[in-house]
Amino acid sequence: MEKPEKLIVDGKRLDGRGPEELRPLKIQAGALKRADGSAYVELGANKVLAAVYGPRELHPRHMQQPDTAVLRCRYNMAPFSVEERKRPGPDRRSVEISKVIREALEPVVFTKLYPRSGIDVFVEVLQADAGTRTAGITAAAVALADAGVPMRDLVSAVAVGKVDDTIVLDLTKEEDQFGTTDMPVAMLPRKRVITLLQMDGSFIEEEFERALALAMKGCEQIYEAQKQALKARYSIKPEEG
Amino acid sequence: MEKPEKLIVDGKRLDGRGPEELRPLKIQAGALKRADGSAYVELGANKVLAAVYGPRELHPRHMQQPDTAVLRCRYNMAPFSVEERKRPGPDRRSVEISKVIREALEPVVFTKLYPRSGIDVFVEVLQADAGTRTAGITAAAVALADAGVPMRDLVSAVAVGKVDDTIVLDLTKEEDQFGTTDMPVAMLPRKRVITLLQMDGSFIEEEFERALALAMKGCEQIYEAQKQALKARYSIKPEEG
Amino acid sequence: MEKPEKLIVDGKRLDGRGPEELRPLKIQAGALKRADGSAYVELGANKVLAAVYGPRELHPRHMQQPDTAVLRCRYNMAPFSVEERKRPGPDRRSVEISKVIREALEPVVFTKLYPRSGIDVFVEVLQADAGTRTAGITAAAVALADAGVPMRDLVSAVAVGKVDDTIVLDLTKEEDQFGTTDMPVAMLPRKRVITLLQMDGSFIEEEFERALALAMKGCEQIYEAQKQALKARYSIKPEEG
Amino acid sequence: MYEIISSVKRDYIADLARQEKRADARALDQYREVSVETGLIKSAQGSALVKIGNTQVLAGVKLERVEPFPDTPNSGVLMVNAELRPLASPTFEAGPPDENSIELARVVDRGIRESESIDLDKLGITPGKEVWAVYIDLHVLDYDGNLIDAASLAAIAALWNVKKPQVEGWTLDEFPVLKKPVAVTVVKIGEKLMVDPSLDEENVMDARLTISTLEDGSICAMQKGGVWCLTVEEIKAAYGLARAKAAELREHLK
Amino acid sequence: MYEIISSVKRDYIADLARQEKRADARALDQYREVSVETGLIKSAQGSALVKIGNTQVLAGVKLERVEPFPDTPNSGVLMVNAELRPLASPTFEAGPPDENSIELARVVDRGIRESESIDLDKLGITPGKEVWAVYIDLHVLDYDGNLIDAASLAAIAALWNVKKPQVEGWTLDEFPVLKKPVAVTVVKIGEKLMVDPSLDEENVMDARLTISTLEDGSICAMQKGGVWCLTVEEIKAAYGLARAKAAELREHLK
Amino acid sequence: MYEIISSVKRDYIADLARQEKRADARALDQYREVSVETGLIKSAQGSALVKIGNTQVLAGVKLERVEPFPDTPNSGVLMVNAELRPLASPTFEAGPPDENSIELARVVDRGIRESESIDLDKLGITPGKEVWAVYIDLHVLDYDGNLIDAASLAAIAALWNVKKPQVEGWTLDEFPVLKKPVAVTVVKIGEKLMVDPSLDEENVMDARLTISTLEDGSICAMQKGGVWCLTVEEIKAAYGLARAKAAELREHLK
């Protein structure tokens, strides 16, 4: 990818969006048959699947907790999901992202209801264009709901950043690479509290506060789409029974 | 290895054999002391050892089956067994071969007699010249019998193939590499049923049927040698008591 | 490092020491807070930490011994401890050294007092200049005593070798690399018996016997410093309570 | 790949087979619904999502410049990798490929390689220095039986989807894919043979035989699996089924 | 990194926090004793031992010649690695890096990389062929909480300790380190925020937020951790704490 | 390498030792039957099968062209690897080399390397670019004690078997092997020393000392093992045994 001269021209981003606009978003609940719950998210060119198994017996046994379910999370990129083929298997990036996704989801799950059991969340990135961790959280929250796991709230997530000195919502890969700052955020939409917050780059105080507010606004939009997806899933009786 | 102009000249193969002839075969039952059963097979330039341990307690415990013994198999090539030194440790090829060897042997073992236990079969290739998986099965069947594992039948195995448009028995490395087709086959010699069948290359229907029939004929010869080896082992009282 | 013309000039070594002289030695017992026992050793440019945990419950369980504690040892070099950065993780050298350190320490530990438990010894090399395994044993013995593990004796260790045809005590990296022979030795100082003995290079009988005697003399000096360090640790009431 | 199944279910499926019936009302020689969608993944040079019933396999083809193998200094390199992702089944575990995913990858690989479906000789760049590597990654998304057929079909569909790849330094006209080998897996339950096993059927099968054939009906690869035996007659019958069904599946590659 | 802690201890610490107190009598915005010693390790081009209370992290910087990444053919390479050595804690296990050590390394890495604290463009040697790699190895020796702050401080102190490195082929005057990003971790226990958590406090915390700031108070990296939430007000308050405390910690870098 | 042994057996062997007897009626300074067969493996440039009693080790030597190490740009490379194959003993497990196989390989390696038995300086090809690597692979086939002596003998026999290797690009006359270091392992049971321990003896031994000597009786490598101590007198006695027995074993290398 070559660096474009400007990432924002006449107030429009290279893909035509305004600074505070999300990419086209599509969420489907119940995308897979074998998983206890699942969801498929497209956000711009991102294509992400999430699947949930559990609550189920937890192996290995020594990981079982007497007073709570253990939430486990695994984020993975398909080898063909990125420009240069990614070697299969976990790398340092995916290990860290798996951890922050788990910590972003854990506050909404009533883990105490299922002592000794495990709840597994798998996030598979099929096509990547920046923002896969937040798209993964968005998908995982829907998959948890689809699996019938008791939850306090959903979790909605999106990235914000700074590009050509402008605070923008939902960065593309190009904006992530050639912009100044990337900040993924996850929020419990009803309580309006933050469960994921990472940042790389540069923000002064005022920028940070504006960016955080914009992220929360973006999460609200994501939340509406999540609710719609779950409604669509349960309003139509599935053919397969 | 350079490609020879022809692999069959005047009806004879490069090593002087006719198309339906086995390479020189030597089988020794009881080649090792520590193993519960063992066998050594030389087939042409192949030198293969097989050892059996068990039925014995199976570790790790979670692999134990309440109603049956678990048969495990591990095929391994010594680093010096091939032209270019093979790095120690399992590779994808040896993992697959271990699986098909296990599936080739499993039908003859009365696994149900030994619930919760394990039977381990180790095949070590010391020198390789094509046909090591079938030589390994041949050796492993003798080693199982030598270990006193109750069996329905032996298993006899050999490869067939197509070389210069001729269906031949028991390919050498040269014939395997420069020929058209390789098809390893394992058979229960008394029941005349197939427990291993793999094929790479090209066969039309008629060729396939002839090749399969030739493989079964080859397996019969292997079977005779296996029986001889077991007889030799038990007719002579071993010195070591 | 380039090879110097001579390693011993006028009876003095390149760092000014006589052949039978130790490098400056500093031992501190109780260098770490979390470990049950610990020690820090500087010997010339070597900087080595040892920590002991246990006797404690041993995991995984199948390693537990019904009649004895299991002593485990792990020797590790920090990536920055050597000239060329060492890749993190165990290599063949550190696996072997971990084994010989364990065997050097085991005779002094009353392992039978703690059936089913584990005692873990960790040796971390922070800066290396030849003789890290013996410095590690020296540190580990102090750390075991600091942890209150019941012991028959201490273990004191040092290397000897042959350099420019001279038998010398306590080789530097330069002397190890360009000298003829390296022989690490560990001794129970009160019983005067040997628990570690390795050698690479060349010794005729008379040289070997002189070298062994010199090593034992060196161990005696080490032993005095170990005792001083333990006295210093327990004469002063630690501030932290 | 074999899952725990209650003995009740096992007996039920075996009983049905004896009557030449199946739990989902299919005929013994009938596939579940098959669909092939290509080109879904823009970050791949070729891609295909194959569904056979509930089973879903996504294949992606990536082209990269690599050093050639010393014995074929001017030929491209084919690499097939299969990932039984844990999201696809409660029995798939995270971690390095196990024997089932390795067997799957190697069977798909042989079907393509031995049929010479890719003209690797055209994929040299600088002799002895650089050639094209063709990576086929098989990503199993949902597992309800018959992975081999689904993965094989996804692989060949993804290869035919490459066409004129958008990759730096590509100079050929078209990606040199030549043939359409199709794998058909026949399983034996009791005395009966059937195609396209569901997961439940796989769990009770005695043996399976996968046969990859070309348009002319010739065989390019075979793989027997399972812990029981096949008679010569069963093998011949399986070959007949494989040829007939391959023709049907090949329709999805048009 | 989270250890088993009795519920009695948990309640005690949470109760204290409610009263704005801590078990070691510190104020909520007070660090334990901090010390930074540099240059201890001669085999490294730069080194620093940081102690925060009983927590000890030793950082070593090694420079090596490596091939550049293809997309930055004339820029140096930064590699940060953290080892939670088992001698440092009964809960650290030998073996490959786990998620805690990977997160630690990556958070320290981002603090340095994103602030452009090293001028990597100066670290080319032969364009496209050879550049300097800067390895920062974080060796955790004693673990009593707040590793991120200790490791970040050790890393930047070790970088500033490099100066004119004694390494073959070095031609620059000074090692091009430009800035002093400092990480401050704020934890939330109940409704209260506090800096520099001890191990016991980490074990009962609801969430933590690490904020790396530069001299001008701007943020260069953040990382939230822990399994509970933060309000917007808490995040803003944490930022205030981070700026104030970073100024204090930066005094140790002089 | 240490196996579970009933305390009855342990006492029996220790009692015998006290009387200077052994379970297989050997003298304390007597080896079991030793045999050395060379050249069995045609795919190796040199090979040797050594049997000491029931213990069997097969060594293969392979020569390959590799890049030299930077500090010895024109010297060959020696690599020794030992595999305790699970077919050789119920206590050997499949998997990466454990501490016993690593120790075995490294002790054999040092015996050869430190005696300068191979003239590595003759194994350069293109200075700084290409040299010969000598891989010695030790394949343990049957394990009944005293692996170090069997493996060391197999390694040196395989090296002397290389002679004029059939390998592309070989230009030297003979393979430059110069010496015959021989390892002898002495074990201590109670107060007694004995050579060539059987497996049962290894399982009850207090300590072992392996001494590798050359034709002139000088020592080139030593390795103490086991969890108990040796006195200075025992070490000297072991050295005497090692020299005497090495001369006997060296007869098998003619």
Report how many domains make up chain A.
1
Instruction: Please tell me which of the candidates C193, C202, C212 has its beta carbon nearest to residue F220.
Output: C202
Residue C143 within a domain = yes
User: Which chains, if any, share at least 3 CB pairs under 8 A with chain F?
Assistant: B, C
In the A/E pair of chains, how many CB contacts fall below 8 A?
A: 88
Whether residue A60 is preceded by a cis peptide bond, meaning omega within 30 degrees of 0, is: yes
> Is some CB atom of chain D closer than 8 A to the CB atom of A34?
yes
More confident residue, F94 or A140: A140
With CB atoms and an 8 Å threshold, state whether F41 touches B32: no
C191, C200, C212 member nearest F110 (Cβ)? C200
- With an 8 Å Cβ cutoff, are B79 and F56 in contact? no
pLDDT at B3: 85
* Contact criterion met (CB < 8 Å) for D139 and A74: no
Please tell me which chains touch B, using 3 or more CB pairs under 8 Å as the contact test: D, F
Residue F238 lies in a domain: yes
In this structure, is residue B13 part of a structural domain? no
In a domain, F149, yes or no: yes
Q: Round to whole Å and give the CA distance between E90 and E122.
A: 42
CA-to-CA distance for E45 and E153, rounded, in angstroms?
17
The shortest CB-CB distance from B80 to any of F56, F94, F137 is to F137
Structure confidence at residue B236 (pLDDT): 61
* pLDDT at res. F166: 86
C97 and C90 Cβ atoms separated by less than 8 Å:
no
Residue A92 contacts E, CB cutoff 8 Å: yes
User: Per the domain annotation, does B228 fall within a domain?
Assistant: yes
Q: Measure D146 CA to nearest chain A CA, in Å.
A: 14
User: What does pTM read for this prediction?
Assistant: 0.95
B122 contacts in chain F (CB < 8 Å): 85-87
Helix (H, G, I), strand (E, B) or coil at A127: strand
Contact E250, E182 (CB under 8 A): yes
Per-residue pLDDT, C237: 53
- All partners of chain A with 3 or more CB pairs under 8 angstroms: D, E
List residues in chain D touching A: CB distance below 8 A. 40-44, 47, 54, 56, 58, 60-62, 64, 81, 83, 85-90, 94, 96-97, 135, 137, 139, 141-144
Query: Per the CB < 8 Å rule, is D86 touching A85?
Result: no
Q: Work out how many domains chain D is built from and give that number.
A: 1
- A50: contact with D, CB 8 A cutoff: yes
**What is residue E4's predicted lDDT score, i.e. its pLDDT?**
59
For residue D1, is it within any domain?
no
pLDDT tens for residues A106-124? 999 999 999 999 999 999 9
Instruction: Give the pLDDT of residue C240.
Output: 45
Angle between the N-to-C axes of helices D147-162 and D99-114, in degrees from 0 to 180, rounded to the nearest 10: 50
Q: Cβ separation of C99 and F103 shorter than 8 Å?
A: yes
More confident residue, A235 or F91: F91
The CATH number of residue A117's host domain is: 3.30.230.70
Per-residue confidence (pLDDT) for residue A203, from 0 to 100: 97
Matching residue, tokens 């790398």: A91
Q: Which of C155, C157, C215 is nearest to C181 (CA)?
A: C215
In this complex, do C103 and F227 lie within 8 Å of one another by their Cβ atoms?
yes
C-alpha neighbours within 13 Å on the C-beta side of residue C137: 34
Residues from chain A that touch E114, judged by Cβ atoms under 8 A, are: 200-202
CA distance E250 to E252: 5
Instruction: Chain B: give the shortest CA distance to residue D136, in Å.
Output: 16
> CB-based contact (8 Å) between B35 and chain F?
yes
pLDDT band, very low/low/confident/very high, at F8 (cuts 50, 70, 90) = confident
Indicate whether B241 belongs to any domain.
Answer: no
pLDDT tens digit sequence for C5-22: 999 999 999 999 999 999
Strands in E100-231 per DSSP E: 124-126, 130-142, 182-189, 192-195, 207-213, 219-225
Q: How far apart are CA F147 and CA F136, in angstroms?
A: 15
Q: The domain that contains E190 carries what CATH number? A: 3.30.230.70
Sequential DSSP letters for A156-173: EEEEEEEETTEEEES--H
Indicate whether B240 belongs to any domain. no
Instruction: Tell me if A100 is assigned to some domain.
Output: yes
For C106-161, write each residue's pLDDT tens digit.
999 999 999 999 999 999 999 999 999 999 999 999 999 999 999 999 999 999 99
Q: Averaged over A25-50, what is the pLDDT?
A: 98
**In chain A, which ranges are E strands?**
8-9, 12-13, 25-29, 37-43, 46-57, 70-77, 117-127, 156-163, 166-169, 181-188, 193-203
Scored b (16 or more CB within 10 A) or e, F60-69 reads bbbbeeeebe
Q: Within an 8 Å CB–CB cutoff, is residue C80 touching chain E?
A: yes
| B204 vs D: CB within 8 A | yes
Contact, C192 vs C198, CB < 8 A?
no
Nearest alpha-carbon partner for D208 in B131, B99, B115: B99
The reported pLDDT for the residue numbered B29 is 98
Look at A34 and D88 and tell me if their CB atoms are within 8 Å. yes
The stretches in chain E having pLDDT less than 50 are 1-2
Give F8 to chain C, closest Cα distance, Å: 16
Among C92, C194, C209, the residue with its CB nearest the CB of F229 is C194
Given an 8 Å threshold on Cβ–Cβ distance, is F224 in contact with C200? no
Q: Give the pLDDT band (50/70/90) at residue D10.
A: confident
Cα–Cα distance between D13 and D20 in angstroms, integer?
10
3-state helix, strand, coil in chain C (%, to 5): 30, 35, 35
> Which DSSP category does E122 fall into?
G
DSSP letters of B48-92? Answer: EEEEEEEEEE-SSGGG-BTTBPEEEEEEEE-TTSSSSPPPSS--H
In this model, does residue C241 exceed pLDDT 70?
Answer: no
- Residue A236's pLDDT is 60
Q: In this model, does residue D1 exceed pLDDT 70? A: no
pLDDT digits (tens, 9 = 90+) for A131-163: 999 999 999 999 999 999 999 999 999 999 999
pLDDT in tens, chain B (241 residues): 678 899 999 999 999 999 999 999 999 999 999 999 999 999 999 999 999 999 999 988 889 999 999 999 999 999 999 999 999 999 999 999 999 999 999 999 999 999 999 999 999 999 999 999 999 999 999 999 999 999 999 999 999 999 999 999 999 999 999 999 999 999 999 999 999 999 999 999 999 999 999 999 999 999 999 999 999 998 865 454 3
| D86 and A120 Cβ atoms separated by less than 8 Å | yes
Picking from D41, D86, D142, the nearest residue to A80 by CB comes out as: D41
Q: Does C128 contact E43 at a Cβ distance shorter than 8 Å? A: yes
Residue of F nearest to C206 (CA): F218
Contacts of C32 in chain E (CB under 8 A): 56, 87-88, 141-142
* CB within 8 Å of D14: residues ≥ 6 apart: D189, D190, D204
Q: Give the pairing of strands D130-142 and D77-84.
A: parallel
Distance in angstroms (rounded) separating the CA atoms of residues E115 and E211: 12
| Residue E2 pLDDT | 44
ipTM of the complex: 0.95
Residue D75 to residue D119: CA distance in whole angstroms: 9
Query: Is the pLDDT assigned to residue A238 strictly greater than 70?
Result: no
E contact chains, 3+ CB pairs < 8 A: A, C
pLDDT for C73-100, tens place per residue?
A: 999 999 999 999 999 999 999 999 999 9
Does the CB of A35 have a partner CB in chain E at under 8 Å? Answer: no
The pLDDT assigned to A201 comes to 96
Angle between helix C205-235 and helix F232-250 axes, rounded to 10 deg? 140
Enumerate the residues of chain F whose CB falls inside 8 A of the CB of residue B60: none
Q: Name the nearest CA neighbour of C200 among C166, C168, C174, C177.
A: C177
What is the reported pLDDT for E5?
62
What residue ranges in D85-166 does DSSP mark as E strands? 124-126, 130-142
Asked if residue C237 is part of any domain, the answer here is: no
* Chains D and A lie in contact, requiring 3 or more CB pairs less than 8 Å apart: yes
Residue F1 lies in a domain: no
What residue numbers bound the domain in which C156 lies?
19-232
Kindly report the average pLDDT of chain E as a whole number. Answer: 95
Is residue A63 predicted with pLDDT exceeding 70?
yes
Domain membership flag for residue B10 = no
The nearest CA of chain C is from the CA of F37 a distance in Å of: 28
- Taking CA–CA distances from E137, the nearest residue in chain C reads C79
pLDDT in tens, A185-198: 999 999 999 999 99
pLDDT value at residue A237 = 53
pLDDT for F21: 96
